[in-house]
Amino acid sequence: MAQCEALIDTLKNELKARRMTYADVAQGLHMSEANIKRMFAEKKFTLQRLEDVCQLIKTDITGLVRLYDETRSRITYLTKDQEKELVSDVKLLMIAVSVRNHSSFDDIVEYYNVSKSECIQYLAKLDRLHLIELLPNNRIKLLINEDFHWLPNGPIEKFFEKKMQPDFLNTDFSGKNEFRIFLNGALTQSSHEVLLRKLKRLSLEFQELNLQDINTPHRQKMNESLLIAFRPWQFSGFEKLRKK
C-alpha cells in the first residue's frame, strides 16, 4: 500500500512539473474535477485509471515506476564535506542554489555575471559532488530530492545564520512585494500543533509553486525567500524577570 501511494505522489509531482492541473486531468479523462481531486486525495486508483493518467503525461506505469525509483535515489542531505565545499566558494553556492531552484544553464549565464566556460566548470564540480548530473548540451539533471534539508548545525546552516539571515532581515519590509508579521501569544500544546501543521503545509505549497513555475522563463520570475520561524520563546530580557 505504501508503494502504491508513493507512485501516486510521483504521478502528482510529474503533473505539477508539467504544469498540468486537476482540471486538465479531468478534461483529458472526461471526468469531473471533483472526482479527480477525490482520487488524488484518497490515493485510490484502479490500474486502468492509473494508466489513463500516465498517458496524459506521455508515459506508462513502467515509466512511472522508473520515475519513482529515480526519486528514491535522490539525496535528502549532503555530507559535511559537501556542505563545506559549497560554502567555501560563493559562486559555487550561488549556482548550486540556482540549479536547486530548477534554473537552466542558459538562465544562470543570462542572469549572473558568470561566463559559459566558468559556469560549466562549476556545474562539473556539482557533478563531482553528486548533486547534479551534467548531461550533453549543458542540460542539468538534479539529484537532490524536493524535501532536501541542511545538516543540523552544519556548514550551510552556520553560513546561513552568519551571512544570509542578517542580510535577509536587513530591511523594514515596507517595499513592494515585501511582507513581515511578528506575533506573540500564549497557546496550548494542541493549538501549537495545529499552527505547526499549517506552517509545514505552507512550506510545501512554496515548493509546489516553485515546481509549477519551472518552465516559465527566468526573466519573468523573481528570486523569492520565505523565512518561517516558530517556537516556544520569550524575549530573554523578559525571561530574566520571571519568578524562579
How many residues would you count in the chain? 244
Residues 6+ apart with CB under 8 A from 141: 132, 133, 134, 135
Q: Is-above-0.85 flag for pTM?
A: no
Average pLDDT, the chain: 87
Structure confidence by residue, pLDDT tens digits, 222-231:
889 999 889 9
Q: What is the mean pLDDT of residues 106-114?
A: 92
Q: Please give the Cα distance from 147 to 99 (Å, whole number).
A: 15
**Residue 1 banded pLDDT, cuts 50, 70, 90:** very low
The residue type at 48: Q
Task: Specify the DSSP element, H or E, that contains 139.
Answer: strand 139-142
Place of cell 520515475: 67
Task: Say if CB 108 and CB 123 are below 8 A apart.
Answer: no
Q: How many CA atoms lie within 13 A of 125 on its CB side?
A: 18
What is the crossing angle of helices 2-17 and 189-212, to 10°?
Answer: 50
- Of the two residues 237 and 1, the one the predictor is more confident about is 237
Percent of the chain with pLDDT over 70: 95
Q: Please give the Cα distance from 54 to 2 (Å, whole number).
A: 19
Q: Is the pLDDT of residue 235 over 50?
A: yes
Structure confidence by residue, pLDDT tens digits, 160-194:
999 999 999 999 999 999 999 999 999 999 999 99
- Of the two residues 19 and 100, the one the predictor is more confident about is 100
pLDDT value of position 84 = 95
